[in-house]
């Protein structure tokens, strides 16, 4: 599912126009824009008119000027593309349907058509469209209710409120003393520390849980099966005790599965800090599906990179992120694509080089095979988790890259020597994985850059030596880059 699925076709085109303008320094010719959108000029004109009326709310803080040749965007420093998306989403009928469902749990067609001021037939059409996108979550709107596994319902609402709807509005509206207290209770009961950004996630999750608690038709079939290996898990036990105690204070008969929902959420999203999570990894059952997959994937990565030993904290970090990824794959279906998958993939490829992406794909296939997932390939959850694997691999390869020590030892008059050395350092600084400085005889280096052949053969010990032809020339730079790559290999 994507954010744009909540918008109409013309609205998607309009935000694409904004996006293209932002990507092109705020100015783009009609021709290029028409190519990108693949529409007629008349329809582009229509879109631009519509944009003009939409952005009136910004009172000149956002301006789109067009003259038949060029389109130009100006925005004040305090407005971003996100604000613009927001006005489109705020007017979306599909968003309103989800919001209404969340608030009231169910609706009748008459109620909803009156509330939204639309006809029966367009309501049916919107619901049908929503259902095509809800399908990957295993959910559908039927008989005026959101139907499916309870875990999936809460997970969908969470993603919806965290990534699509204005989350601060939800928190403002729904977060009361009781919710704040509940967050505090989670900290007390689990003996963990919840940092501010994680607290916001937990806050939203608890708001959603509170609103769902009294719903009478909850379905846990899948969850009960998934939880089978975790019924003796120490974290689950703590959560279970907390949930039972919490609801024993109210006139609510709580389902046993309520604790299971929280367990899945707490491990699939960054709620615990790495430190608290680590404490849990020491006592969790290593043979349970998620933990054993974590270990398997860590080993696969270590073997791939031919690492002899990982730094202790890096290994802990890997487990932390992998458990999030694997818990998601284990318990959840579907996702909201918060990043443009293709763009992100292309960008990551540039940074990490080509070989990490196939490795990430292998890891994902391994994981889905282990969990015997029946998900189809074109699934947002799988796409998002692939991006996470890639990010993790990138992180690891950055952290594990050997830093190449480079010394600059220029032989010339003092003033030139200092200036040119500094300029050279400045020019080379953007290159990843190097440490560069003016040569100090007491230190050892991997590479020495100099302008004269050394007097003695081992003047620089084991270091490779490159003799610059013309300091700062692109010829030299290319050679140096090549040597760095060779040293890295």
3-class secondary-structure state, position 335: coil
Phi, psi of 387 (to 5 degrees): -60, -35
Pick from 245, 275, 347, 443: which binds other proteins (CB under 8 A)? 245
Number of chain residues interacting with other proteins (CB under 8 A): 25
- Min dist CB 333 to other proteins, Å, is 25
Contact between 246 and other proteins per CB under 8 A:
yes
* Two structure tokens written together for 271: 């709620």
- CB–CB of 271/352 below 8 Å? no
State the Cα–Cα distance between residues 11 and 17, nearest whole angstrom: 10
Q: What is the nearest approach in angstroms of other proteins to the Cβ of residue 171?
A: 17
| 341 binds other proteins per the rule CB under 8 A | no
- Residue 199 as a binder of other proteins (CB under 8 A): the answer is no
Instruction: With H, G, I as helix, E, B as strand and everything else as coil, classify residue 26.
Output: coil
Q: b/e per residue, 408-445, with b = 16+ CB within 10 A? A: bbbeeeeeebeebbeebeeebeeeeebebeebeeeeeb
CB 438 within 8 A of CB 428: no
Q: Which is nearer to other proteins, 244 or 426 (CB)?
A: 244
The residue (of 185 and 300) whose beta carbon lies closer to other proteins is 185
Q: At closest approach, how far in Å is the CB of 327 from other proteins?
A: 23
Judged by CB under 8 A, the residue of 82, 251, 402, 461 near other proteins is 251
255 touches other proteins by CB under 8 A: yes
Q: Name the residue among 179, 347, 207, 326 with its Cα closest to residue 264.
A: 326
Of 25-33, 234-242, 363-371, 401-409: span binding other proteins (CB under 8 A)? 234-242
- Does residue 216 belong to the site contacting other proteins (CB under 8 A)? yes
464 by Cβ neighbours in 10 Å (0-12 / 13-18 / 19+) ranks as middle
Give the nearest distance from C-beta 214 to other proteins in angstroms.
6
Residues, the chain:
489
**Chain center to CA of 477:** 36
Which residue from 396, 399, 379, 401 is spatially nearest to 446, judged by alpha carbons? 401
Cβ proximity to other proteins: between 220 and 330 the closer is: 220
Nearer to other proteins, 245 or 361 (CB): 245
Residue 219 near other proteins by CB under 8 A: no
* Residue 253 binding other proteins, by CB under 8 A: yes
Give least dist CB 325 to other proteins, A: 30
Q: Which of 210, 278, 417, 427 binds other proteins (CB under 8 A)?
A: 210
Binding flag, residue 241, other proteins (CB under 8 A):
yes
Residue 31 to residue 41: CA distance in whole angstroms: 9
Span of 3-11, 110-118, 142-150, 252-260 interacting with other proteins by CB under 8 A: 252-260
Q: Which of residues 79-98 bind other proteins (CB under 8 A)?
A: none
**Largest pairwise CA distance in the chain:** 93
Contacts of 474 (CB under 8 A, 6+ apart): none
Which CB atom, from 255 or from 279, has the smaller least distance to other proteins? 255
Beta strands 70-75; 62-66: pairing state:
antiparallel
Smallest separation (angstroms) from other proteins to the CB of 105: 12
- Give the nearer residue to other proteins in terms of CB position, either 234 or 353: 234
> Can you tell me which of 52, 119, 122, 188 binds other proteins, judged by CB under 8 A?
188
On whether the CB atoms of residues 372 and 329 are closer than 8 A, the answer is: no
177 binds other proteins (CB under 8 A): yes
- For other proteins, give the closer residue by CB, 45 or 255: 255
Give the nearest distance from C-beta 294 to other proteins in angstroms: 27
Q: Which stretch binds other proteins (CB under 8 A): 3-11, 35-43, 211-219, 450-458?
A: 211-219
Residue 193 touching other proteins (CB under 8 A) = no
For the CB of residue 252, give the shortest distance to other proteins in the complex, in Å. 5
Binding segment (CB under 8 A) for other proteins, from list 80-88, 174-182, 297-305, 357-365: 174-182
Q: Which two tokens stand for residue 189?
A: 């009961």
The sheet that has 70-75: what strands, in order across it? 27-29, 70-75, 62-66
Site for other proteins in 377-416 (CB under 8 A): none
CA distance 466 to 410: 11
Q: How far apart are the first and last CA of the chain?
A: 40
**Could you tell me which residues come within 8 angstroms of residue 262 by beta carbon, excluding any fewer than 6 positions away?**
205, 209, 239, 243
Stretch that binds other proteins, among 45-53, 138-146, 236-244, 434-442 (CB under 8 A): 236-244
Task: Summarize as ranges the residues that interact with other proteins (CB under 8 A).
Answer: 177-178, 181, 184-185, 188-189, 210, 213-214, 216, 240-242, 244-246, 248-253, 255-256
């Amino acid at each position: 599912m994507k954010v744009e699925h909540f918008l109409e076709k013309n609205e998607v085109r309009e935000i694409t126009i904004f996006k293209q303008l932002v990507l092109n320094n705020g100015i783009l010719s009609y021709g290029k824009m028409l190519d990108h959108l693949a529409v007629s000029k008349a329809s582009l004109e229509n879109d631009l008119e519509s944009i003009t009326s939409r952005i009136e709310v910004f009172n000149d803080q956002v301006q789109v000027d067009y003259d038949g040749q060029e389109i130009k965007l100006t925005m004040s420093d305090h407005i971003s593309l996100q604000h613009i998306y927001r006005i489109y989403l705020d007017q979306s009928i599909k968003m309103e349907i989800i919001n209404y469902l969340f608030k009231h749990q169910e609706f009748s067609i008459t109620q909803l058509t009156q509330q939204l001021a639309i006809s029966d037939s367009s309501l049916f059409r919107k619901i049908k469209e929503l259902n095509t996108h809800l399908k990957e979550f295993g959910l559908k709107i039927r008989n005026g209710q959101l139907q499916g596994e309870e875990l999936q319902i809460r997970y969908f609402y969470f993603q919806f409120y965290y990534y699509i709807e204005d989350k601060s509005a939800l928190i403002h509206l729904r977060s009361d003393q009781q919710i704040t207290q509940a967050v505090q209770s989670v900290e007390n009961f689990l003996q963990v520390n919840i940092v501010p950004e994680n607290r916001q996630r937990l806050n939203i999750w608890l708001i959603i849980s509170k609103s769902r608690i009294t719903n009478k038709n909850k379905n846990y079939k899948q969850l009960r099966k998934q939880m089978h290996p975790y019924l003796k898990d120490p974290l689950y036990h703590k959560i279970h005790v907390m949930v039972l105690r919490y609801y024993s204070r109210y006139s609510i008969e709580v389902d046993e599965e309520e604790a299971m929902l929280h367990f899945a959420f707490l491990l699939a999203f960054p709620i615990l800090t790495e430190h608290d999570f680590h404490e849990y990894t020491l006592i969790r059952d290593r043979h349970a599906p998620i933990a054993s997959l974590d270990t398997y994937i860590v080993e696969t990565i270590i073997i791939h990179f031919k690492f002899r030993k990982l730094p202790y904290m890096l290994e802990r970090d890997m487990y932390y992120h992998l458990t999030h990824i694997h818990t998601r794959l284990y318990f959840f279906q579907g996702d909201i694509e918060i990043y443009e998958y293709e763009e992100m993939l292309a960008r990551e490829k540039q940074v990490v080089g080509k070989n990490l992406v196939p490795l990430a794909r292998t890891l994902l296939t391994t994981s889905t095979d282990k969990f015997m997932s029946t998900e189809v390939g074109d699934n947002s959850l799988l796409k998002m988790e692939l991006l996470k694997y890639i990010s993790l691999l990138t992180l690891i390869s950055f952290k594990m890259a050997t830093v190449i020590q480079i010394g600059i030892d220029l032989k010339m008059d003092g003033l030139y020597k200092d200036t040119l050395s500094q300029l050279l350092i400045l020019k080379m600084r953007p290159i990843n994985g190097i440490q560069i400085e003016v040569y100090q005889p007491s230190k050892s280096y991997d590479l020495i850059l100099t302008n004269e052949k050394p007097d003695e053969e081992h003047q620089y010990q084991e270091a490779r030596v490159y003799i610059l032809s013309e300091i700062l020339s692109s010829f030299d730079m290319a050679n140096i880059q090549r040597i760095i790559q060779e040293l890295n290999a």
